[in-house]
């Protein structure tokens, strides 16, 4: 892990928009590093699991031998933030996963993949998120999942107007259906870094 002042935050870099997360985290002064091998988990204070294809990220995490060590690290308290596909990866159950698809089982939630339809049905909306304060957060949803069940220890951070849950936290874990790395509003990354700092 890095020195006393600098947080070392990994970004799972198997597939998806990991480069954008690395850039945002570095903008906050974190030592942001791509994670592709199990041994790299030993040197980080927290991890971001980016958007992309959840089925591909799952498959590659197992091929690279990362899935089981990452599950153990999360169970032992490693802070993690999952966006879009990353939220699916962190979930306890994928309602509509493809045959053989696995998740990391860390967040006590059930998630539905592509809950809003195909890429052509991507949309943007302003969300009230009391945990990160005012003003409302402009959120980008791209083939986004939705949280269908929230466990007892999970806090809902944001919902759409129809009540569907799109942001949650549970202890050191944070998840959003949307992509904050694709806008100029990075309060969720700052919120996560505060979690990482507190956990360290």
Catalytic positions are: 84, 179, 181
Are 79 and 196 spatial neighbours (Cβ–Cβ below 8 Å)?
yes
> Rounded to an integer, what distance in angstroms lies between the CA atom of residue 82 and that of residue 178?
10
Tokens representing residue 191 in the block: 């919120």
Residue 82's DSSP bridge partners are: 49, 175
Is the bond into 135 cis (omega within 30 degrees of 0)?
yes
- The H-assigned helical ranges of the chain are 18-27, 54-63, 67-75, 85-90, 187-199
Q: At a CB cut-off of 8 Å and minimum separation 6, what does 90 contact?
A: 49, 74, 80, 82, 103, 104, 106, 107, 173, 175
Are 125 and 139 spatial neighbours (Cβ–Cβ below 8 Å)?
yes
Three-state SS at 25:
helix
């Amino acid at each position: 892990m890095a020195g006393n002042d600098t947080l070392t935050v990994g970004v799972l870099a198997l597939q998806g928009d990991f480069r954008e997360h690395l850039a945002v985290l570095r903008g906050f002064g974190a030592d942001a590093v791509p994670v592709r091998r199990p041994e790299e988990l030993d040197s980080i204070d927290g991890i971001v699991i980016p958007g992309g294809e959840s089925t591909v990220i799952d498959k590659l995490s197992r091929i690279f031998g990362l899935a089981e060590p990452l599950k153990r690290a999360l169970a032992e308290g490693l802070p993690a933030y999952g966006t879009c596909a990353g939220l699916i990866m962190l979930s306890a159950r994928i309602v509509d996963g493809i045959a053989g698809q696995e998740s990391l089982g860390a967040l006590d939630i059930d998630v539905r993949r592509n809950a809003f339809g195909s890429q052509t049905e991507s949309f943007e909306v302003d969300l009230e998120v009391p945990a990160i304060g005012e003003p409302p957060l402009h959120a980008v949803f791209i083939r986004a999942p939705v949280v269908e069940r929230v466990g007892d220890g999970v806090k809902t951070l944001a919902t759409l107007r129809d009540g569907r849950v799109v942001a949650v936290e549970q202890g050191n874990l944070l998840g959003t259906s949307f992509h904050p790395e694709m806008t100029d509003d990075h309060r969720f990354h700052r919120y996560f870094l505060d979690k990482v700092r507190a956990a360290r």
